[in-house]
Structure 1
Amino acid sequence: MSKSPVLRRKPKAEQRAEMIEQILDAAEYLFSKHGLYGTTLKEVAQRVGVHHSLLNYYFEDKKALFDTVFARRAPVTIDRRMAALDQYELEAAGKPTVEGALRAFLDTDLDLYINGGEGWKNYAALGAQASNTPEGAALMDKHFDPLVLRLIGLLKQALPGCPEEDIFWGYHFVTGALLLTLARTGRIDKLSGGLCRSDDFEAVKDRMASFMAGGFIANCRRRAGV
């Protein structure tokens, strides 16, 4: 008579890690839809299927949970884009272009949302949601400033003589367009009668860097009187 297989009980550390991941996934989804103030810990707990007191065991409060959700994926996109900018600068050999720098910065990030599954799309929407609040802006500063300044440095090389404030304004317009895209509001779907879709990141990747590069160049030439 054969013996029944013995089911291995997961170590407590593994159970804890899995539970935290479930909580972070649920919170990420809800924060991406409703923001920090529009989401409650009780709603997160209900989505996970646990009592809300368990969340207080792992996280001090809702803001601590929000910060952890925001920080979880940030190093992945930051490291990928830093590496892409480094590689592009090396390949450019002292002659970077605006579009080349923007493609390293934008396309590398968009690839995560194209290929990374629904979790990454939720994170994208969360970033768009968070960037319009003081708390979210502080997290952007904390995690993303070194990456942004790396891009700014390449743009300065690509646009010698361009007033520095115009390069920063250019980045401001780029990040505004990117965050609107990541929010996937569906507005462009309605305006275009279905010709464009707000979740078509492939279409955005094909167009955004070249469109924004044209804006940088035109503005700098206008300011220089060329």
Structure 2
Amino acid sequence: MAAESKPQRKRQTKAEKRAETIEQILDVAEYLFSRHGLYGVTLKDVAKGVGVHHTLLNYYFADKQELFDAVFARRAAVTSERRMKALDAYDKASGGKPTVEGALRAFLDTDLDLYIEGGDGWRNYGALSAQIANTPQWGAEMMDQHFDPVVLRLIEILGKALPDASKEDIFWGYHFVSGALMVTLARTGRIDKLSGGLCKSDDYAAVKARMARFMAGGLKTICDNRPE
């Protein structure tokens, strides 16, 4: 009886090989940047992690800044699109009567799901985002570029939920929400030590169960009790 022939693997096209190589480069660079920042990583470090000569990276990216921008933009587009769709859907479903917690859940929970379900790549991206958000020299500009539309959509819905609140208080409320989210994504391990292991920095499910509710309470409080 003749041996069964193994199915031949389809040969990759040049475009497929290029796309696969770029994904490998972005994954390794994301990991390194998330731990050492923009200035703590060289193209040679990335090339070593990928297992190629560093000159190959220059074929795909002009310099380290271009690579860094590409790393951040890759997942920023995904999270922005998902949150925008979630906010639009929630606004429509609320029938013009959104709640603060409902709006925050659409914004926060949709993002946290990516870190719960997306594996190490998304968690590396979260840590990188926290670094960028806390770098005033150039980080704010990157956050503005990728996230302003979805943030302003959230602000718009919060304004509907709090029609008597001042815009100033709503923007401060978002500022506090953003800060808590960035500390969470940084996964510093501080809460692990403070709680004696009761809480875990990477327990995004526990964060999701609490953050929107906590932030909604704080936001409503500052809007309802505005100082003279």
Per the TM superposition, whether the score is higher than 0.5 is yes
Note closer, same or farther for the CA distance 1:161–1:61 as it changes in structure 2 (3 Å cut): same
Q: SS state of the match for residue 103, structure 2?
A: helix
Q: How does 1:69-84 map to 2 (within 5 A)?
A: 69-84=71-86
2:86 is equivalent to residue 93 of structure 1: no
The 1:6–1:198 alpha-carbon spacing in structure 2 relative to 1, beyond 3 Å, is closer
Listed one character per residue, the Cα deviations across residues 94-134 of structure 1 (whole Å, up to 9, x for unaligned) are 11111000000000000010011111111111111111123
Q: 2:9 & 2:150 partners in 1: Cα distance?
A: 46
Aligned partners of 1:99 and 1:210 also within 8 Å = yes
Residue 186 of structure 2: which of 169, 183, 186 is its match? 183
- Quote the Cα distance in structure 2 between the aligned partners of 1:7 and 1:207: 48
How many pairs were matched up?
A: 225
Distance 1:175 1:7, change over 3 A: closer
Could you tell me how far 1:137 is from its partner in structure 2? 1.8
Displacement of 1:76 after TM fit?
1.3
Partner of 1:161: 164
1:218 counterpart residue number: 221
**Per-residue deviation, residues 35-89 of structure 1 (Å, max 9, x unmatched):** 1111111111110001111111110110000000111111211111111111111
Q: What residue is the counterpart of 1:142 in the other structure?
A: 145
How much is the aligned-residue C-alpha RMSD, in angstroms? 1.6
Of the structure 1 ranges 41-50 and 72-81, higher mean CA displacement relative to structure 2 is found in: 72-81
- Tell me, in whole angstroms, the C-alpha distance in 1 between the residues paired with 2:7 and 2:101: 59
User: Residue 41 of structure 1 corresponds to which residue in structure 2?
Assistant: 43
**Structure 2 match to 1:22:** 24
Q: Which residue of the other structure, out of 182, 206, 211, is the alignment partner of 2:209?
A: 206
What TM-score comes out, normalization by structure 2 length?
0.94
Q: Which of 104, 115, 118 matches 2:117? A: 115
- Is 1:132–2:127 an aligned residue pair? no
Match in the other structure for 1:54? 56
**How big is the shift at 1:5?**
7.2
Gaps of 5+ in 2: none
Deviation at 1:10, TM superposition (A): 2.3
Q: More deviation in 82-91 or 193-202?
A: 82-91
- Residue 21 of structure 1 aligns with an amino acid whose one-letter code is E
- CA shift at 1:196, angstroms? 0.4
TM-score, normalisation: structure 1: 0.95
Task: Name structure 1 gaps, 5 residues minimum.
Answer: none
CA distance in 2, matches of 1:20, 1:48: 10
Alignment CA distance shift 1:11-1:175 (3 Å): same
> What whole-Å deviation, never above 9, does each CA across 1:136-189 have from its counterpart, x for those lacking one?
221110110000000000011111121111110110000000010001110000
SS of the equivalent of 1:223 reads coil
Identity of matched residues, %? 69
Counterparts of 1:82 and 1:222 in 2: how far apart (Å)? 30
